[in-house]
Amino acid sequence: MAFATAAGATIHYTVEGGGSDTVLLLMGLGGHASEWGSVFIADLASDHRVVRMDNRGIAQSQTAWTSWTLEDMANDARAVLDALGLGRAHVIGTSMGGMVAQLLAAKHPERVGRLVLMATSFGGSEMVQPEQRAIDALAPPPGLTVAEQRRKGLRSLTSDEFADANSDLIELLVAQRERNPTSALAFKAQFDALLASDRSQLVADIRSPTLVVHGELDPLVPVQNARMLAARIPGAQLSVLPRCGHMPHLERPVETAQTIRTFLEARLDTDTNTDTDARTR
């Protein structure tokens, strides 16, 4: 097991794959590093070294703190890079992890090569709010078991097409979370941290080549947020995945990984925002 020491936390991480470039993955609200999905990881790790970390308070990443900020979590990511002896890595963040990645890229640009922001927003008052079914998934009625909560969340946040066709995968993810649930304290601390963070102006300072990836049917972070985010980051590209909800790495793992790999390996002109809406491919 590998651990990095950060202010107020010990961060667990794993390393897979090979290649000269390292990609650091930052998970979303309440999520575990194990929940990126085997298909997505295998594709990405075929030619990159992939580092997955559990956010503080999740799984084996320990902290005595009961509250923290997204800036603290960005510093946790820096601590993992330090533990690996890396000055810089490509960074992929999904949902809340994408918010952390925005802070890392804007405030510590020397640590971020290329940046992928998936299923996320810049927050603040301009953010397009979640659909009601997504809000309900984050605040399930009392009395549900961990399994029932996780099942409800996965079915509410992904597309109906995916949920109906992938009940086995959903049950696998439910079983993983049952074995190692996210504590209510850690979930609340993360949720409070993301609500308190407004990066709507800060993202304009990001200079890392950036790709924004988003599901067309995302109910938690509606796709309008992705368009605004890509427009505000200089030179950002946008890829919208059709018939996809909030979890591209699970719902469209091969297409998502290959889109990211193409971006990481391409020669880029970062002077102009480019919308590469996947529906036109």
Spatial CB neighbours of 195, under 8 Å, sequence gap ≥ 6: none
Q: What is the pLDDT of residue 190?
A: 98
Q: What is the pLDDT of residue 151?
A: 92
Q: What is the pLDDT of residue 93?
A: 98
In angstroms, how far is CA 233 from the centroid of its own chain? Answer: 17
Half-sphere exposure of 245 (CA within 13 A, CB side): 20
On whether residue 42 sits in a domain, the answer given is yes
Quick count: other Cβ atoms within 10 Å of Cβ 156? 22
On whether residue 51 sits in a domain, the answer given is yes
On whether residue 161 sits in a domain, the answer given is no
Q: What is the CATH number of the domain that holds 226?
A: 3.40.50.1820
On whether residue 145 sits in a domain, the answer given is no
pLDDT, tens digit, for every residue of 100-145? 999 999 999 999 999 999 999 999 999 999 999 999 888 777 888 8
On whether residue 255 sits in a domain, the answer given is yes
Separation between Cα atoms, residue 41 and residue 59, nearest integer Å: 19
On whether residue 176 sits in a domain, the answer given is no
In the predicted structure, residue 272 carries a pLDDT above the cut 80: no
Give me the percent of the chain exceeding a pLDDT of 90.
85
In the predicted structure, residue 83 carries a pLDDT above the cut 90: yes
Separation between Cα atoms, residue 100 and residue 173, nearest integer Å: 24
Separation between Cα atoms, residue 227 and residue 222, nearest integer Å: 10
In the predicted structure, residue 64 carries a pLDDT above the cut 80: yes
Angle (CA) 241 245 251, round 5°: 75
On whether residue 228 sits in a domain, the answer given is yes
Nearest to 119 by CA among 105, 101, 137: 101
Q: Determine the structural domain holding residue 25 and report its residue range.
A: 2-132+182-280
Nearest to 264 by CA among 15, 12, 46: 46
- Please give the model's pTM, rounded to 2 decimal places: 0.94
pLDDT, tens digit, for every residue of 250-266? 999 999 999 999 999 99
Q: Into how many domains does the chain fold?
A: 1
Nearest to 244 by CA among 178, 166, 179: 166
In the predicted structure, residue 41 carries a pLDDT above the cut 60: yes
Mean pLDDT in residue range 228-249: 98
Give me the percent of the chain exceeding a pLDDT of 70.
95
On whether residue 112 sits in a domain, the answer given is yes
Length of the chain in terms of residues written: 281
In the predicted structure, residue 29 carries a pLDDT above the cut 90: yes
